[in-house]
Amino acid sequence: MPDVEIRGAYKKFGSNVVLNGIDLDIQQGELLTLLGPSGCGKTTTLNVIAGFLDIDQGEVYIKGKKMNKVPPYKRDLGMVFQTYSLFPHMTVYENLNFGLSLHKVEKAERKRRIAYAMELVKMVGLEGRYPREMSGGQRQRVAIARALVVQPKLLLLDEPLSNLDAKLRHELRIEIKRLQKELGVTTIFVTHDQEEALSLSDRIVVMNKGNIEQIGTPGEIYQHPKTEFVFHFIGKSTRMDGVVKSIDRQSIQVQTQTGLQVSADPNNIMGEDRRLQAGDEVKLYIRPEKISLHMAADQPSLDNAHKGMITQMNYLGSAWEVEVSLSGEAIQSLCPAVNPAWSVGSEVYAGWQSPDMMLIKK
């Protein structure tokens, strides 16, 4: 039985449909992320699970029990809100103690649990501080400790890292993952950061305008996006437009607007209508890291290789971002290393494999 089940959740604010009948199962011990652009309904979904918001239609179950109309404090969960949620007039210790006293936990046990939670988030020694006397990262750690200290069955984290700088985000992300696995607590993590979702999650739910576009493991979402929206939301890509010349079970031959002949894989058609035939106009997408650059045309292992010219080179430290023009088609490539002789104007061959290209009917 799933830990959390959402069935046909529908929610309207005025005439604005914010959840359009979503279905979702969350398994015991799983770390599930809700990923999507601003306003797609992530916080609303979390609030519905937490019980801060009623749905107009549908059901929510936690551990098999129907939760509609059950107040938040009876749902046995810990939550970190999108905006800072510590009580400003309480010390760190008092912030952690607050929930425990509501739950009528006995004093010695409270002390023990607070000490343990402070250790988990590496904040031992700062118990006497007020929120204003701490950095953003420290406050977020305390907020996480406060959610954990009540030993919830379910942990709900709404963009807990969004106000932090890149380095601290990365550090805390790793810590949240470690903590979550150590405690085995079922967790729903909200983010609009694709890298965060890919690195943290057991499964990702991609949301768009109150609908679920796709649910899958990070690998499934990245390698096999079902819709154009999911493909664009996760990762970068180059787009080419073309016309299907021929199609069979093994391959699709497409001619691009600029005259390139490319071959694609029939398993990689996205969208609702996946039946293609010769003459159909399509959009082709390929991710930069799938395009390799070579000195010679002769690349027997690649089923697409085209001569081009480098039009831009950007050094990123761990890789190079290279733009190549293939008979007028601007292609982005991400290479771990480049030939030292290459510069803007150099002639190169860009290659990729058919299964690395996604296509969708126009």
Ligand X SMILES: Nc1ncnc2c1ncn2[C@@H]1O[C@H](COP(=O)(O)OP(=O)(O)OP(=O)(O)O)[C@@H](O)[C@H]1O
Structure tokens that stand for 150 in this block:
């009540």
Question: Minimum Å distance from CB 19 to ligand X?
Answer: 8
Residue 306 interacts with ligand X (CB under 6 A): yes or no: no
Place of tokens 């809700």: 34
d(CA 282, CA 14): 38
| Interacting residue with ligand X among 141, 146, 192, 287 (CB under 6 A) | 192
Q: Using CB under 6 A as the criterion, what x/- string covers residues 251-290 for binding ligand X?
A: ----------------------------------------
- Strands 186-191, 31-35: pairing is parallel
d(CA 41, CA 46): 9
Q: Which range, of 10-18, 20-28, 218-226, 284-292, touches ligand X by CB under 6 A?
A: 10-18
Residue 238 interacts with Mg ion (CB under 5 A): yes or no: no
Q: Which range, of 34-42, 214-222, 269-277, 313-321, touches Mg ion by CB under 5 A?
A: 34-42
Q: Measured from the CB atom, is 44 or 201 closer to Mg ion? A: 44
Structure tokens that stand for 157 in this block:
């984290």
Q: Scanning residues 202 to 231, which ones bind ligand X (CB under 6 A)?
A: none
Q: Measured from the CB atom, is 9 or 114 closer to ligand X? A: 9
Tell me the site size for ligand X, rule CB under 6 A: 13
d(CA 285, CA 274): 15
Question: Are 305 and 297 a contacting pair, CB within 8 Å?
Answer: yes
Residue 15 interacts with ligand X (CB under 6 A): yes or no: no
| Interacting residue with ligand X among 6, 33, 41, 186 (CB under 6 A) | 41
180 binds, among Mg ion, ligand X, none (CB under 5 to 8 A by kind): none
Q: Which range, of 34-42, 87-95, 214-222, 338-346, touches ligand X by CB under 6 A?
A: 34-42
272 CB-near residues (< 8 Å, 6+ apart): none
Residue 48 interacts with ligand X (CB under 6 A): yes or no: no
Place of tokens 């059901």: 59
Q: Is residue 110 classed as helix, strand or coil in its secondary structure?
A: helix
d(CA 90, CA 98): 9
Residue 233: how many other CB atoms lie within 10 Å: 22
Question: Minimum Å distance from CB 304 to ligand X?
Answer: 37
Question: Are 128 and 92 a contacting pair, CB within 8 Å?
Answer: yes
Applying CB under 6 A, which residues contact ligand X? 13, 16, 18, 36, 38-44, 82, 192
